[in-house]
Structure 1
Amino acid sequence: MNRPRTSRAAEALAAAALLVLTAACGSRLPESDFGHGDRPSATAREPIRVGIVASATSPVGGGAFTGPRDGANAWFDRLDARGGIDGRRVEVHTCDDGGSGVGNNECVRRLIDEEKVVALVATTALDYAGASRVSRASVPDIGGQPIGAAYDTYPHLYGIYGSDAPRNGTPGWDGRLYGGTEVYRYFKREHGARTAAVVSYNQSASAAYARLVERGLKAEGYKVVTEQVDFALPNFRAVAADLKEQGADLVFDAIDANGNARLCRAMDDAGVRVTAKVTNVQNWTSTVAEEYKDAPHCRNALWATGSSRDYEDTAHPAVRAFRDATKDLRTHSQWQLEGWAAARWFTDAAASCARTGITRACVDRYAGRTRDYTAGGLLLPVSFERSPEPPSTSRTCLSVARWRDREGWVAQGDMNRTCFEVPQLAYEP
């Protein structure tokens, strides 16, 4: 039976755009520094300890990786105010890895060996160098953001969007991951788009991501216009002029947030009007009005796609609960909602273990058996069914929203019904 499936390309690869400007390669600690750790079980008198790793001070910029952490903390605060899990509060230990591999390894070591956390929740790491240690220690990592290939590589790691990969220590299937073309299919079928532009820097990570987007667009029959600008001195005016000349319906990009704002301003100045300037879940935030203040036309052509329910969709009770608990936050974002969903996922796992003991092993068994988990309707169905063969096609659903100045992000249709049978394209992480 076909069921909705989440995209690997739409989220995991979109996150690669975050890496374009960073120099945070880090280095791994020697393997001799790693042990297996234990599998602690908290007694009835002890709190339930969880860890959250976030690259809060990464070179990408302050706040770029803190949304999932903030959403998860909001869930646990509310949970504890209502009695915790089986009468036990959740004690959250956060760690900022600084966006480096060395820092990530140290966070993982401290949380596993010193704090004795039962699980990691809502991990958002620029360089998840400690992933292999988490896996070897059999610590469940629940609802992390797939920045890089860790969640398609190691057992005991459960990314927020699910995975069908074998996860036997090698990324995907023999080092190759697969992503669908549902985003491009959506704009073609629902909005009649035929010509799409892809803007990138003359930088390796940016160019590689742009090539993947181009492949997906061509697979869906688009005429593709490629635009590459100099990383140091980008001429967005020239790009905008060519977009107007080529009559682009859609604009995708492999550039950073600042570059996007400058591109949008150049498009407005040149009178470029497109069906959609398409962005990803990481930029699905309430800060759009400020970041794109000089580009009103482009700003109101911004569309975002992802695998979770629009954080503005307060008609849905699960979203309403999230917004009520986070009403004091200065800004809101889709990543915050996904961090909230990750914390709820852990809570469901821990609650199922309350009678026999909330241990790493029990929580891991629950997460490993996950089939079509939605966090109360916040996520497209998440599953972990290891497939020995990579997919060739898949029925994939997506959440779509567009920005409107007086309304914020407006959901476009039902994410559980916006589904397409699309090809799955291979790529190397």
Structure 2
Amino acid sequence: MLVACLPFLPRADNIMQAIRRPPSRALIISPRLAVQARWASNNLHNGGRAHPLSRPSIPTRRGPTSTTWSSSTFAARTSKQRVTALTTVLLATLTGTISYLIGLKAQGPANRSTGSGLSSSCKEPTRRDFDAAVKELRALLPEDSLALDRDSLVARSHSDWACEPLGRRNLVFGLPGAVLYPRDTQDVVNIVKLANKYSIPIIPMAANTSLEGHTGALTYKSNPSDAASIAKRRRGERITLQDLEPGLAWVVDVSENMNEIIKIHEHDLQIVVQPGISYDAINETLAEKNIPLFFPVDPAPGAMIGGMIGTGASGTNAVRHGTMRENVYNLTVVLADGSVIKTRSRAKKSSAGPNLTQLFIGSEGTLGIVTEATLRLVPKLPQRVGVSGFPTIEDAANAARDLVQQG
């Protein structure tokens, strides 16, 4: 009766007959027939009216399509699909296993323990390697660019500015084995390549103000140390510099010979300097040349550009002029393998790739040694000094906020 009322559904009778069949026989309905069945059901509840989206079926040349499959046909196709999928998974697993075994064999036993294809080239330095490296270093650097005396080692082992005094909380700052004073980028390259060859640790250093308390020669398992200092540490006693023996690390001090201004670009508001010059010396030189510009970052007195870059320094002018991250355009850096890179050009606006300059600012010498830096200069503004009193700290803070908001 339902089929007679819906002549626009040519196969609705087949659908209804299939629905009335017992569930023991598998039934597969094509998407088109399923839609037609849904329309038929809707029209039954709508008083037999035609569905507004209905349309006559389009005859095909292939003849009538069967609406049902036998159970055996469906089971055969399903079984075949499962076998095909299982075969694909097994082949992929076998291919991956073979590739892994081939790669593991190519790495060799030396690199297998690291869990990666990269070889671990870092090893503990030895006294023999240290002496061989120093011997080669004497042929590359002038005599005054290498210091092995205890006074020099002690001076570059810690900082009197440090927040954590030597020996407090049983901290041990080991002495370096040598202090090196490079003159230019090429000297730093030679030092780094030798250190790489003999696995000598390197600590770049500038003014050594170290207000954060982070300055100290590297410590490691084979670092020579006096037995008395070890015994004191176990007893919880204070350790002094006299308890320490020279280690096997190199301190690369840029403050002695790499402290020059390379070039001043007054019209570009830029200056190119070596890392061993202090920000005070930069501003004094600009004032002597009657250039109405200055470098605005002002951390601890005497702080040098190399250390300021390494620690991402700031200062009292940071509110108006920003920190080192906002005042460095590009860097010349010697990487761990001795290669030299320049992070970007002097152009203020640049969208050529990532900003590598920001990567090295705040890295504290762990990614490379900075040998040149292009810094931002700002115009000098008229200055007036005044003193104001406030009843509370909150009032003073609010006044400072209002001044900043007004520019």
TM-score (norm 1): 0.23
More strand by share: 1
Greater gyration radius:
2
TM-score (norm 2): 0.24
Structure number with greater CO (CA < 8 Å, separation at least 6) is 1
More helix by share: 2
